[in-house]
């Protein structure tokens, strides 16, 4: 296939691009190269990189020329940033999705929206199926839920060929140091405080980025038009236990754990039922969080200072980190 991968220079998007290039697909990447998107993430791959924003119709029209499908990873993704200022989330996640869906409709090509378990809100017991209502809790998840509904409306209204893939918490190489695992890993390696929200008893289900990427391809290749598919991890973990495991892997001390004020509107637990995707395409996550997944990720950050160091050396990053955690990072 000839694919337009929006946000393909970011964390999850670049994992998908690596897989599809290896599989022989022709890939064009549209990416704004903001703080979380980097040329280095697709360096050495035979891809056509177009620099532009998904809310820009001109850039989208140029990038979409001749493609068979559009897969949209492009998004503002961090809940903390959305709480501080939601404007960019509305612009990219909602307006950008609308722009892409319109282009896909104009060209008559399949459109895949990459979404998140956070659109469902929090669940105390059991797991979300695709039939659960969307009850987002943050400006970030609200903007993603709105985008999902816009995509589904395009199918209902116009009969447009669309599919949604909703993933659980991802981890792995090339994740910007604002999410739990890279932040804790880098602080642990450098002997600094490990800022844990509240009591650290929030529950997340972890999915390696390569497994999410393969699940998205399963939805692209086999998904029924107008349907959403959950792409969930197999390991449910309490946040504080994840931090303790990182401490063990890095040789840090539990004395470094510093409980900070909890995030506003913090969802307690996410869990996805992925049986619909498994039945459709036989998809299964392959990377075990406990048996090599987390450890290989920690080692990647330890061995790739050249990748993350320029990202965290900026005044913008330091100011953001202080606003969120009330302290400076150790790295």
Does the active-site annotation cover 111? no
Cβ-contact 202, 267 below 8 angstroms: yes
Q: Which of 31, 80, 102, 118 is labelled catalytic?
A: 118
The two structure tokens encoding residue 269: 């637990």
The two structure tokens encoding residue 182: 């890279």
Radius of gyration in angstroms for the set of CA atoms belonging to the chain, rounded to a whole number = 19
Distance CA 123, CA 136 (A): 11
Which distant-in-sequence residues (6+ apart) come within 8 Å of 81 by Cβ? 88, 89, 140, 178, 320
The two structure tokens encoding residue 210: 């390569």
Does the active-site annotation cover 118? yes
DSSP states along 274-317: -HHHHHHH-----S-IIIIIHHHHHHHHHH-HHHHHHHHSSHHH
DSSP states along 103-172: HHHHHT-EEEEEEEGGGG---SSS-B-TTSPP---SHHHHHHHHHHHHHHHHHHHH---EEEEEE-EEES
The two structure tokens encoding residue 40: 């280095």
Q: Which of 80, 117, 178, 267 is labelled catalytic?
A: 117
> Which residue is listed with tokens 């391809």?
217
> Which residue is listed with tokens 């979404």?
115
Name the nearest CA neighbour of 138 among 267, 293, 17.
Answer: 267
CB atoms within 10 A of CB 93: 30
Q: Which of 98, 111, 120, 140 is labelled catalytic?
A: 140
Does the active-site annotation cover 117? yes
Q: With residue 229 as reference, give the H or E element that holds it.
A: strand 227-231
Q: Which residues are catalytically annotated?
A: 117-118, 140
């Amino acid at each position: 296939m000839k694919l337009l991968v929006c946000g393909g220079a970011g964390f999850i998007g670049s994992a998908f691009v690596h897989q599809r290039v290896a599989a022989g697909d022709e890939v064009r990447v549209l990416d704004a190269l903001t703080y979380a998107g980097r040329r280095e993430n697709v360096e050495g791959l035979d891809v056509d990189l177009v620099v532009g924003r998904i809310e820009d119709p001109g850039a989208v029209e140029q990038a979409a020329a001749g493609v068979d499908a559009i897969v949209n990873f492009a998004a503002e993704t961090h809940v903390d940033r959305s709480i501080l200022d939601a404007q960019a989330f509305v612009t990219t996640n909602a307006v950008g999705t609308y722009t892409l869906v319109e282009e896909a409709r104009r060209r008559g090509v399949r459109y895949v929206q990459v979404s998140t378990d956070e659109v469902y809100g929090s669940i105390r017991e059991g797991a979300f199926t695709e039939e659960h209502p969307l009850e987002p809790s943050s400006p970030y998840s609200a903007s993603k839920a709105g985008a999902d509904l816009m995509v589904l409306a395009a199918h209902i209204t116009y009969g447009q060929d669309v599919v949604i893939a909703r993933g659980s918490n991802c981890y792995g190489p090339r994740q910007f140091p604002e999410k739990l695992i890279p932040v804790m890993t880098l602080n642990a390696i450098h002997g600094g405080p490990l800022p844990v929200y509240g009591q650290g008893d929030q529950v997340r289900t972890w999915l390696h980025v390569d497994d999410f990427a393969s699940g998205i391809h399963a939805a692209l290749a086999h998904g029924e038009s107008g349907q959403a598919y959950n792409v969930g991890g197999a390991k449910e973990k309490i946040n504080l236990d994840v931090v303790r495991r990182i401490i063990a892997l890095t040789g840090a001390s539990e004395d470094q754990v510093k409980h900070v004020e909890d995030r506003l509107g913090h969802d307690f637990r996410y869990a996805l039922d992925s049986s619909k995707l498994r039945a459709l395409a036989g998809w299964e996550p392959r990377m075990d969080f406990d048996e090599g997944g987390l450890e290989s990720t920690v080692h990647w950050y330890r061995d790739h200072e050249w990748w993350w160091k320029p990202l965290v050396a900026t005044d913008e990053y330091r100011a953001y980190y202080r606003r969120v955690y009330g302290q400076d990072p150790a790295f």
